[in-house]
Amino acid sequence: MLIDRVYRPLTTAGKALFETATTYLDGGGGLESTARVLFVHPNTVRYRLGRIAKTTGYDLTQPREAHTVWLAIAVGRLAESSQREWRRSLQGLEPPIHEIVDESPFVGTL
């Protein structure tokens, strides 16, 4: 599964690699723009992209592989957020669901 092969290795490899991958993908794959956003040298971005390829097995400079990693990150984030909500509901930390009361001034005025 993509979460196990891409998302988890990226998150456990360190914040810098995950941040570089997301910034690079969100910026359309621009090396220079990624370096500017991250306040690092373009060679640092190149080095990190190489480490990302070694960690995940996907080369972000290849469009198909970049799209696969982008999807894996999106799915991983969704899975993580739904897991947090599920844990909160087990611990009783979910906010109570309030009944929606229609307080419209137009109710029954026809």
Rounded CA separation 53/47 (Å): 10
pTM: 0.73
DSSP code of residue 14: -
Residue 105, pLDDT score: 60
pLDDT at 82: 76
For every one of its 110 residues, what pLDDT tens digit does the chain have, with 9 covering 90 and above? Answer: 889 999 999 999 999 999 999 999 999 999 999 999 999 999 999 999 999 999 999 999 999 999 999 999 999 999 888 766 655 555 665 555 555 555 656 555 55
